[in-house]
Amino acid sequence: MHGHLYEGGGLAIKNAWFTLAVAFIILYFSSRLRFSFGIVLKPISEDLGWTRAETTMAATAFL
């Protein structure tokens, strides 16, 4: 029944590469967002009136 999916391995391999590509893109952008927090730490803490320690603690609890 599944012979047509794996005939030559075409569709199964394409699905595997597509899944790998989507996972890579998601992990790439999520890590970029996580590590960019240091850039916006000072403006956020000044805007909220919090110390940097309080802002970092809130961000850590969120992650």
For 4-57, how does the pLDDT look when each residue is reduced to its tens digit (9 = 90+)? 555 555 666 788 889 999 999 999 988 887 788 889 899 999 999 999 999 999
Q: What is the residue extent of each domain of the chain?
A: 25-63
Would you state the pLDDT for residue 50?
94
Amino acid at 48: L
What type of residue sits at position 53?
A
The string of DSSP codes covering 3-47 is HHHHGGGHHHHHHHHHHHHHHHHHHHHHHHHHHTHHHHHHHHHHH
- Rounded mean pLDDT, 58-63: 81
| Alpha-carbon span 19 to 59, nearest angstrom | 30
33-46 confidence digits (pLDDT tens): 778 888 989 999 99
